[in-house]
């Protein structure tokens, strides 16, 4: 490869921050390109008479940064095809927050020699101005990569190139999802130049400042940041010697009732369509996961990361139609794929428990899952007449058992099981159907009592036939409302 691309950094400010080596390379260059001329060092080099070609016009003509970077790459490639050595200069350090350099390394370096020369970065000036040591922890993120980054508040957060108020507002809103609204934020501008400026604002007012291409937003570590790791740390503290006596006493066994209770409270919030309460109840359910994991961690059984790793890997593995090459167009096809992969995950197929559903499921759900399981291997009726006839058969057998006073419990179970199977054929969830019916009964019963009291009666003192009258009235009003 005869042509060579020298990539250099201009430093964060003026010529004083440009390394001597890079200064000499610039003055000896036959062809010098800069990503942008909007940089103090470039302006000073122009004043010295250095011939520079910038890509500013590409920024003005392309609709996206991706398109800009591709155009820059293509122009550099055309120059290299001529067989010459050229210099491409960027603000700061070439390997810090420079997307074009990543593309050069990824693409041009396969065709031509690429030499990257180090430089002072904007981060170095932050250490000086804000007086912190990066060993405390450092996280650099672009302005559009804050939502999914998993902010923990354990490190200094640096957001470079926040160059206008609109972008600052978007950054503020993203940060407020994790950080307290009144946390202190540093807005730094033109560090290392005579125009150097550092403003300290509260997060909720950070977009009231002024911004340009040399603006960087910095947040110090903060223990109040909302994150999964924060929740885990709170639970660890509660279980510690200086924590809560009740929390320290809990075991996997003692926590079982709370796990069940919180699960049903989530279901109750969903049924009531109470989103405010659902948010709270989901938090309570998540607490149970964290609690059990902390107990396991203390016993050196597994850690929070093991739980996260397991579920992430399982979701990816069992969705090859999303993360792999397989296809599944319908929900039915997805379930079939899921069950196939689940079976393949068993190390010893001969020891697979055919009925592997949790034995602690509510009985109606357990019955439905059992019936779905056997249906998958062909043990099922073809038409609805089968389960419907079975319900009638079991009803007659229960009637006979009641008459004879023998086998009532067993026959009642057979009838309930048959009804669950019928609900499956009707594509209804027996558990949900019964829960809806309970809600309806409770509402009608409370209305019955209300109507009774409106007429001056004491409900508990009424005979059953009069209770029935008020029951029918409540039922009639219910139909009018519907």
Both tokens of 435, joined, read 């829960």
Is residue 188 within a helix (H) or strand (E), and if so which, with residue range?
strand 184-189
Looking at residue 291, its pLDDT comes to 96
Looking at residue 8, its pLDDT comes to 95
Q: How far apart are CA 205 and CA 168, in angstroms?
A: 10
User: Who has greater pLDDT, 402 or 346?
Assistant: 402
User: Who has greater pLDDT, 413 or 479?
Assistant: 413
CATH of 4-120, one of 3.40.640.10, 3.40.50.2300, 3.40.1010.10, 3.30.70.360: 3.40.1010.10
Q: How far apart are CA 125 and CA 92, in angstroms?
A: 10
Looking at residue 228, its pLDDT comes to 87
State yes or no: pLDDT of 482 exceeds 60: no
Please, are residues 444 and 475 in contact by the beta-carbon 8 Å criterion?
yes
Q: Which of 5-14, 145-154, 185-194, 206-215 has the lowest mean pLDDT?
A: 145-154
Query: What is the per-residue DSSP string for 229-277?
Result: HHHHHHHHHHTSTTS-HHHHH--HHHHHHHHHHHHHHHHHHHHTT-HHH
Rg (Cα) of the chain, in Å, rounded?
34
State yes or no: pLDDT of 1 exceeds 70: no
Q: How would residue 353 be classed by pLDDT, with cut points 50, 70 and 90?
A: low
Q: How large is the average pLDDT for residues 108-117? A: 91
**How does DSSP classify residue 192?**
T
Angle between helices 408-425 and 363-376 (to 10 degrees): 60
Over the stretch 13-43, which tens digit does the pLDDT of each residue have?
A: 889 889 999 999 999 998 999 999 988 899 9
Q: How far apart are CA 281 and CA 287, in angstroms?
A: 10
Looking at residue 356, its pLDDT comes to 67
Judge whether 228-317 and 353-428 match in fold: yes
Q: How large is the average pLDDT for residues 93-99? A: 88
State yes or no: pLDDT of 144 exceeds 90: no
Please, are residues 34 and 55 in contact by the beta-carbon 8 Å criterion?
yes
Of 235, 211, 25, the residue nearest 118 (C-alpha): 25
Percent of the chain with pLDDT over 90: 52
Q: How would residue 354 be classed by pLDDT, with cut points 50, 70 and 90?
A: low
Q: How far apart are CA 445 and CA 373, in angstroms?
A: 38
Q: How far apart are CA 304 and CA 290, in angstroms?
A: 8
Give the architecture-level CATH label for domain 124-219. Answer: 2-Layer Sandwich (3.30)
Q: How large is the average pLDDT for residues 141-160? A: 86
Of 62, 127, 72, 126, the residue nearest 99 (C-alpha): 72
Looking at residue 316, its pLDDT comes to 93
Q: What is the dihedral of CA 435, 439, 440, 446, to 10 degrees?
A: 150
Task: Provide the H-helix boundaries in 405-455.
Answer: 408-425, 430-454
Q: Answer positive or negative: Cα dihedral of 294, 298, 304, 306.
A: negative
Long-range contacts of 391-396 (CB under 8 A, 24+ apart): 391/415, 391/418, 391/419, 391/422, 393/418, 394/418
Long-range contacts of 169-176 (CB under 8 A, 24+ apart): 169/207, 170/143, 170/144, 171/143, 171/146, 171/206, 171/207, 171/217, 172/203, 172/204, 172/206, 172/207, 174/146, 174/147, 175/146, 175/151, 175/203, 175/219, 176/203, 176/204
User: Who has greater pLDDT, 2 or 304?
Assistant: 304
Q: Taking the CB of residue 364, how many other CB atoms lie within 10 A of it? A: 20
State yes or no: pLDDT of 218 exceeds 70: yes
Put simply, whether the predicted model's pTM sits higher than 0.85 gets the answer no
Q: How would residue 347 be classed by pLDDT, with cut points 50, 70 and 90?
A: low
Q: How far apart are CA 313 and CA 284, in angstroms?
A: 25
3-state secondary structure 336-395: HHHHHHHHHCCCCHHHCCCCCCCCCCCHHHHHHHHHHHHHHCCCCCCCCHHHHHHHHHHH
**How does DSSP classify residue 108?**
G
Over the stretch 291-317, which tens digit does the pLDDT of each residue have?
A: 999 999 999 999 999 999 999 999 999
Q: In Å, what is the CA distance from 301 to each residue of 230, 250, 295, 305?
A: 21, 16, 9, 12
Question: CATH topology for 228-317?
Answer: Helix Hairpins (1.10.287)
Mean pLDDT, all residues of the chain: 89
Query: What is the per-residue DSSP string for 31-88?
Result: SEEES-S-SHHHHHHHHTT---EE-HHHHHH-SSHHHHHHHHHHHHHHHHHTT-EEEE
Q: How large is the average pLDDT for residues 186-191? A: 92
Please, are residues 112 and 1 in contact by the beta-carbon 8 Å criterion?
yes
Please, are residues 36 and 59 in contact by the beta-carbon 8 Å criterion?
yes
Q: How would residue 366 be classed by pLDDT, with cut points 50, 70 and 90?
A: confident
State yes or no: pLDDT of 481 exceeds 60: no
Looking at residue 152, its pLDDT comes to 86
In angstroms, how far is the first alpha carbon of the chain from the final one? 81
Domain boundaries, the chain: 4-120, 124-219, 228-317, 353-428, 431-481
Q: How would residue 163 be classed by pLDDT, with cut points 50, 70 and 90?
A: confident
Looking at residue 88, its pLDDT comes to 95
Q: How would residue 10 be classed by pLDDT, with cut points 50, 70 and 90?
A: very high
Both tokens of 329, joined, read 């167009």
Over the stretch 418-466, which tens digit does the pLDDT of each residue have?
A: 999 999 899 898 888 888 888 888 888 888 888 988 888 888 888 888 8
Over the stretch 369-392, which tens digit does the pLDDT of each residue have?
A: 888 778 877 888 888 899 899 889
Both tokens of 424, joined, read 């499956």
CATH of 353-428, one of 2.60.260.20, 3.30.930.10, 1.10.10.10, 1.10.287.1080: 1.10.287.1080
Over the stretch 246-256, which tens digit does the pLDDT of each residue have?
A: 999 999 999 98
Is residue 4 within a helix (H) or strand (E), and if so which, with residue range?
strand 4-9
Percent of the chain with pLDDT over 70: 96
Rounded (5°) CA angle 311-315-321: 170
């Amino acid at each position: 490869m005869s042509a060579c691309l020298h990539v250099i950094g201009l430093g964060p400010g003026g010529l004083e921050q440009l390394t001597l080596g890079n200064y000499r390379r610039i003055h000896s260059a036959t062809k010098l390109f800069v990503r942008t001329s909007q940089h103090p060092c470039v302006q000073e080099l122009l004043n010295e008479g250095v011939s520079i070609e910038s890509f500013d016009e590409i920024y003005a003509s392309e609709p996206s940064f991706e398109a800009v970077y591709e155009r820059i790459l293509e122009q550099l490639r055309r120059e290299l095809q001529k067989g010459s050595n050229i210099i491409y200069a960027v603000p700061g350090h070439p390997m810090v927050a420079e997307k074009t350099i990543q593309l050069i390394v990824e693409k041009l370096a396969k065709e031509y020699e690429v030499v990257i020369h180090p430089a002072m970065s904007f981060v170095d000036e932050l250490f000086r101005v804000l007086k912190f040591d990066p060993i405390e922890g450092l996280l650099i993120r672009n302005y559009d990569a804050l939502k999914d980054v998993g902010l923990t508040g354990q490190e200094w957060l640096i957001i470079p190139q926040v160059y206008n108020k609109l972008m600052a507002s978007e950054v503020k809103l993203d940060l407020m999802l994790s950080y307290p609204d009144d946390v202190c934020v540093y807005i730094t501008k033109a560090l290392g130049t005579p125009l150097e400026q550092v403003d300290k604002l509260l997060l909720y007012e950070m977009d009231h400042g002024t911004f340009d291409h040399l603006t960087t937003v910095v947040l110090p570590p903060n223990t109040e940041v909302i994150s999964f790791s924060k929740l885990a740390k709170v639970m660890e503290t509660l279980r510690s010697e200086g924590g809560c006596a009740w929390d320290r006493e809990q075991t996997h066994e003692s926590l079982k009732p709370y796990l069940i209770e919180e699960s049903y409270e989530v279901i109750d919030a969903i049924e009531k369509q109470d989103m405010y309460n659902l948010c709270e109840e989901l938090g309570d359910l998540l607490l149970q996961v964290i609690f059990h994991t902390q107990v396991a961690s203390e016993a050196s059984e597994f850690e929070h990361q093991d739980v996260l790793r397991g579920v992430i890997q399982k979701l990816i593995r069992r969705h090859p139609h999303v993360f792999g090459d397989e296809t599944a167009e319908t929900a039915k096809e997805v379930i079939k794929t899921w069950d196939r992969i689940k079976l393949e995950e068993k190390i010893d197929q001969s020891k697979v428990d055919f009925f592997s559903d949790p034995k602690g499921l509510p009985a109606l759900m357990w019955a439905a899952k059992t019936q779905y399981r056997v249906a998958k291997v062909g043990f099922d009726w073809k038409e609805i007449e089968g389960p419907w006839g079975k319900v009638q058969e079991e009803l007659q057998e229960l009637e006979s058992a009641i008459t004879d006073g023998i086998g009532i419990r067993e026959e009642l179970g057979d009838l309930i099981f048959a009804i669950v199977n019928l609900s499956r054929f009707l594509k209804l969830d027996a558990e949900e159907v019964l829960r809806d019916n309970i809600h309806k009964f409770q509402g009608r019963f409370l209305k019955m009592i209300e109507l009774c009291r409106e007429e001056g009666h004491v409900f508990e003192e009424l005979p059953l036939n009069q209770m029935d009258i008020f029951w029918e009235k409540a039922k009639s009003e219910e139909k009018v409302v519907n």
